[in-house]
Structures are given as C-alpha cells and as structure tokens.
Amino acid sequence: MTNAVFYCSFKLQEGADESEFLAASERLNDEYISKQKGYVSWKQLNDGETWLDFLTFETMEDMKNFEENSANAGELAQKFYSYIDLNSCIVKYYSVKKSYKSR
C-alpha cells in the first residue's frame, strides 16, 4: 500500500495571529485528526505568506474517509478555519509513489 497525502495551500486571514493559529492546529490534531483511522502525520509549512498543510494517511481510502467525516471535528475545526482565508485554499490529493530517507 502507498500512503496518501492531502495537500492544501492557503493564506491566513488579515491580522490573524500565527501563534494562536498554530495552537488551534495543534489542538485539532491532538484531539481529532490524530485519532482518525490511517493517520500518519500532519506537517504545516510557511514561507512567510503562504501556508501548506500536508496530512499523510496510510491509504487514499483512509484520507477520503477523514475528509468525508471532517465535519465531526465541530468546534475544533471551526476554530482552526476561523484563521484561514478560505478563498485562498487550493486542495489536492496525492499518492506517495516513492519516499527517500537519510542513510
């Protein structure tokens, strides 16, 4: 089986506090996302303007199930999304074909 990656690029709302956003992300991860079937990891990257979320799941099916059930995160998700300019979001799905690690 190959892992699946949920990729989302976005910008934060004008005036959003980065540390509060990251705290909301961590809480969403710890209390909801990390408990989903097949969850592997969530990486958040930033170049000073654009954010990238990379959520990795064991399978594409696990990732799709997570996405379909994401409304169940309720208040945790609402808090997380309140920092994001939703019009800036670009979402893509990838299957990991090959992964390399340090030897």
Neighbouring C-beta atoms of residue 66, cutoff 10 Å: 21
pLDDT of residue 102: 95
The greatest distance separating any two alpha carbons of the chain, rounded to the nearest whole angstrom, comes to 43
Q: What is the mean pLDDT of the chain?
A: 95
Whole-structure pTM value: 0.91
Q: Domain 4-94 maps to which CATH number in 3.40.605.10, 3.50.50.60, 3.30.70.100, 3.40.1190.20?
A: 3.30.70.100
Total residue count of the chain as it appears in this document:
103
Q: What is the DSSP letter of 38?
A: T
What is the mean pLDDT of the segment spanning 93-99? 93
pLDDT of residue 85: 98
What is the mean pLDDT of the segment spanning 38-64? 97
Q: What is the DSSP letter of 36?
A: S
pLDDT of residue 1: 63
pLDDT of residue 100: 93
Neighbouring C-beta atoms of residue 101, cutoff 10 Å: 4
Residue 91 forms beta bridges with which residues?
8
